[in-house]
Structure 1
Amino acid sequence: MTGSVKFDIGGVPVKRLKLSNLPAKHDFKVVYPRTPGSIDPNNPPWPAFRGYHTYSFANATMGHRLPTILGKAIDDVVQTLNELSDEDMIVDLVKCIERMASLKEELTEHALLRPIVDDGEADVALWNKEIAKYFRGKDFMNAPWLFAEAYKYRRLRECFSISKHWSTYDVFFRQKCDTFSRSNDAVFELSTRFCEPFKQDSKQSSADNLESLRLMFLELTQVCLWGNSTDLSLLINMTEDQIKALQSTGGEALAETEKNILGNHMARLWEVVRDLKRDSLDGTGGRIDFVLDNAGFELYCDCVYADFLLQSGLASTIYFHGKRYPWFVSDVTKKDWEWLLNSMVYGQLFPKATAQEKEGLKRLGLRWKKYVQEGRWVYEQHPFWCTGYTFWEMRNEAPDLFLHLSKSDLVIFKGDLNHRKLTYDCAAPYATSFDVAIGPMASSPGAPRVCSLRTIKSDVVVGLGSAGDGDGEEVGEKLDREEPGWKISGKYAVVLLSEGRPGEEVTFA
């Protein structure tokens, strides 16, 4: 053996071999997407975004946004604490605050991810199975961002769920209510238009009525899409004027924003819902599901959209899927759902509103509450929505939910988080088709039609150029050069549709 001494290990010289006769090293790229058998929560189809990736929004979220959100949550609980007089409740809430402070410290110090305490919630086993199988030894920064962020919110839930008196406390409820109460211009823009039942012009031909319906559908789809702009986890210190600008629902504003829909399947989406009306036996459309995102103004827009779908005969039944407990700051819970409908009918949120505006909002709320009573609007909260799993795993980890959604004629996923979970939140190429990006949610037998209405607020972006409006890679790369930060600005959006495999028998291994 020839060579020179490189270093010592325990005083024993270690020699370096001369490899001058072997082939040179080759530089090659790893092939993506990964094969299905090698995909798991720690190894998505393309590379995952992780908190230590300084170039990504994951880094800003895990390092700054989440500690800030936790700090504001602690402030909210302290405000509640200062309003209490019962000692038992005070002591119990102090312990909640201590657990929140400990969680914030763990987040700041990049602590390892521990199992979830058994608090009786239906998702505990799913969480702890995933941690044990894929994330042992992982911490807040080196676990995939999607999982680490969801885990943080589950741990925040745990701070209250194991308490005696505060298991249903929502640290974000005040923020959600306050933001909606400052949305008066946009709220009344819609309520004054839709407080009276929708009617088509009897003097128009059926073709003209259908065209009017199409145009209204496209505008309301945009209203529903851009209502997602008001995401409290991003707009922590937004002024009232800034909120109003984001929530502008005038026709000129919508025409201007449509050019910012980078992957746009709205034309095909219209054909889908139009055919539901045409093909139904009684002309009342089919079943449409909304997987909800933000409470407040976005939920209000979702309900306006759903109301139109029912009244126009494009849908006969609407299912709304929310979260079982407070999640990602502004996500919809059952409490938020009930608060919205009741505050529209009975509340005093808008003291400066005219009597006509208040009456219009009340009529709208009464009609929506009637839909609930009649079973035409159904609110549900499956435990799977609050787990760390992506929707690629729904068929395996929540087969009952997958089977339930397979019976829908169209499932509309709202917002950025749902889009991240649909696409495995990984660094897929911009031109990746939506069908490929959502994997089993498009390819499994019985997979329903899936639409993602998403204002872009995070790193994963797919489906660009899919509507024939240019090369997707070129579109994304141009924005990278000319508008750094475009993927988190909320300025751009996608409306993407997967045809799925509806009607096929759902089978489980």
Structure 2
Amino acid sequence: MAAVPASLAGSFKGSFAYYTIKDRLPQILTKVIDTLHRHKNEFFEEHGEKGIEAEKNTISLLSKLRNELQTDKPLVPLDDKLPDTLLWNQYLEYQQNLLDGNGQPSWFQSPWLYVECYMYRRIHEALAQNPPIDDYDVFKEVKVQSFFESHQAIIALCTYLRELLKNIEDLDEKQLQEDFLKLLQVSLWGNKCDLSISAGEDNSQKANPLKSLDDLKPFILVDDMESIWSLLINCKKRRTSEDITRIDIVLDNAGYELITDLVLADFLLSSKLATEVHFHGKCIPWYVSDTTKHDFNWTIKQLQSANNRWMSKCGMNWEGSIKKGVWVYHDHMFWTLPHEFCSMALVATDLYAELEKSNLIIFKGDLNYRKLTGDRKWEFTVPFHQALNKFHPAPLCSLRTLKSDVQVGLKHGQGEQFVTTEPDWMISGKYGVVQFDASL
């Protein structure tokens, strides 16, 4: 196999990685500091002087972090004694060894994927070291806002799903396929709503998502949807009453995108394309809008209590699926480590073994794509399978809108043409891919 290319990094001036570390990450830190400051009274009401002291200390640590980032200081080991601290510090040591004694890993000189993850982990550290506000989610406010601002789109989706499920038993294979492909695309384009890209600015879905699918179709650069359908329909046809068809969805953003994933999961179960769906979220607040267990449960509760009958029906059904054990939520600390996924088998053997039970793993979003491909300077035409670098717990696919400088599996000349005509094609979220890899 050919050598693995270099990691994307802030040392490439003018790159999206450079812009992210220089501008976007400090903006996000500033918003986090502002959020804590605005909730000062709340901390006082709940915890008295201890709450105020904790808020002050946390802001002080985050201001120091922002300064380190902006002045390209060396990365320092974590100091918070949490379950993943040792793994993080070993990873820093590994980065130091790569430099072979030539200085320390710093913000602009280290892999972009690593330093971006490291920043979010340091935000978590600043809070973890300051009880009683140690479990405060600094991104909760923007996630909640994003959910409510997508209200109309959520109603449209829930209504569509409830209508669809009324006669799901009577659908022939062709109709089932059409509906599956539709909801897969809704889930793909749901990935546009990413608050870490907009640095927390409003990025919600306002319009009815089903009406724009035909217009968006030309923007899917790699379309392996038919292969995914074949895999699922064959599983269904071969399945005996004892068999399980398990689909795993590695989640990305909370809010509207999460709803698109839950709608897809409901359809998969109701159409018997799957018998159980496993969701994987983050165990700490991450990349502004990533889904935590709290976000997952909060979303279902919101739907249940909505004053729209189809939204509340979806909420009730989804709560029922969790109680029945056909929907299972997992979080594992591996998802908030800086490692690319090809090291999962070594670093998180239990998670890898869990994913091996799956018939299909759906990886949502840009960060998962970056970790699948190692966030490297791959040629555009390198096959998806090769970029996965031996990561194959089960057949897998990526549903992702492009928001970073990595893309593989394109046709010859396709990427180069975009570079000339649309310089920001890789970062605007305008284009999407549905990439599938069945080889084990």
Q: TM-score range by the shorter chain?
A: over 0.9
Large movers: runs of 4+ above 3 Å: 199-202, 236-239, 242-245
Which residue is 1:375 aligned to? 325
Hey, what's the Cα distance between the residues in 1 that align with 2:200 and 2:303?
A: 25
1:427 equivalent in alignment to 2:389: no
Structure 2 runs not aligned, ≥5 long: 98-103
Give the AA of the match of 2:405: D
Q: Is the 8 A contact 2:204 2:256 kept in 1?
A: no
1:486 equivalent in alignment to 2:436: no
Q: Give the C-alpha shift of residue 201 in structure 1.
A: 6.6
Which residue is 2:57 aligned to? 95
Q: Give the C-alpha shift of residue 282 in structure 1.
A: 2.5
Q: Give the C-alpha shift of residue 360 in structure 1.
A: 1.4
Q: Give the C-alpha shift of residue 500 in structure 1.
A: 2.9
Which residue is 1:230 aligned to? 193
Hey, what's the Cα distance between the residues in 2 that align with 1:409 and 1:91?
A: 50
Structure 1 residues 378 and 274: CA distance shift in structure 2, 3 A: same
Structure 1 residues 494 and 479: CA distance shift in structure 2, 3 A: same
Structure 1 residues 109 and 380: CA distance shift in structure 2, 3 A: same
1:54 equivalent in alignment to 2:21: no
Which residue is 2:286 aligned to? 327
Hey, what's the Cα distance between the residues in 2 that align with 1:457 and 1:215?
A: 28
Which residue is 1:124 aligned to? 85
Which residue is 1:20 aligned to? none
Structure 1 residues 284 and 304: CA distance shift in structure 2, 3 A: farther
When normalised by structure 1's length, the TM-score is 0.82
Which residue is 1:4 aligned to? none
1:451 equivalent in alignment to 2:384: no
1:185 equivalent in alignment to 2:152: yes
1:152 equivalent in alignment to 2:119: yes
Please give the residue correspondences for 1:204-215 in structure 2 after superposition, counting only pairs within 5 Å. 209-215=172-178
Which has the greater radius of gyration? 1
Which residue is 1:143 aligned to? 110
Q: Give the C-alpha shift of residue 238 in structure 1.
A: 4.8
Give the AA of the match of 1:117: D
Q: Is the 8 A contact 1:429 1:473 kept in 2?
A: no
Q: Which of 132-141 and 423-432 deviates more?
A: 132-141
Hey, what's the Cα distance between the residues in 2 that align with 1:393 and 1:95?
A: 35
Hey, what's the Cα distance between the residues in 2 that align with 1:285 and 1:149?
A: 38
Hey, what's the Cα distance between the residues in 2 that align with 1:329 and 1:278?
A: 41
Give the AA of the match of 2:366: D
Question: What is the aligned counterpart of 1:406 among 356, 359, 377?
Answer: 356
Q: Give the C-alpha shift of residue 285 in structure 1.
A: 6.0
Hey, what's the Cα distance between the residues in 2 that align with 1:489 and 1:411?
A: 26
Q: Give the C-alpha shift of residue 77 in structure 1.
A: 0.6
Hey, what's the Cα distance between the residues in 1 that align with 2:329 and 2:204?
A: 27
SS at the partner of 1:497? Answer: strand
Which residue is 2:183 aligned to? 220
Hey, what's the Cα distance between the residues in 1 that align with 2:38 and 2:282?
A: 25
Structure 1 residues 214 and 188: CA distance shift in structure 2, 3 A: same
1:418 equivalent in alignment to 2:381: no
Q: Is the 8 A contact 1:135 1:143 kept in 2?
A: no
Which residue is 1:168 aligned to? 135
Q: Give the C-alpha shift of residue 135 in structure 1.
A: 3.1
Structure 1 runs not aligned, ≥5 long: 1-31, 35-44, 348-354, 465-471, 502-509
Q: Give the C-alpha shift of residue 387 in structure 1.
A: 0.4
Structure with more helix by fraction? 2
Structure 1 residues 463 and 322: CA distance shift in structure 2, 3 A: same
Which residue is 1:7 aligned to? none
Q: How many equivalent pairs are there?
A: 431
Identity, % of aligned pairs? 37
SS at the partner of 1:401? Answer: helix
Hey, what's the Cα distance between the residues in 1 that align with 2:432 and 2:348?
A: 29
Spell out, residue by residue over 1:9-44, the C-alpha distance to the aligned partner (whole angstroms, 9 max, x if none): xxxxxxxxxxxxxxxxxxxxxxx942xxxxxxxxxx
When normalised by structure 2's length, the TM-score is 0.94
Q: Which of 334-343 and 413-422 deviates more?
A: 334-343
Hey, what's the Cα distance between the residues in 1 that align with 2:415 and 2:163?
A: 43
Question: What is the aligned counterpart of 1:311 among 250, 270, 273?
Answer: 270
Q: Is the 8 A contact 1:323 1:385 kept in 2?
A: yes
Q: Is the 8 A contact 2:74 2:107 kept in 1?
A: yes
1:109 equivalent in alignment to 2:65: no
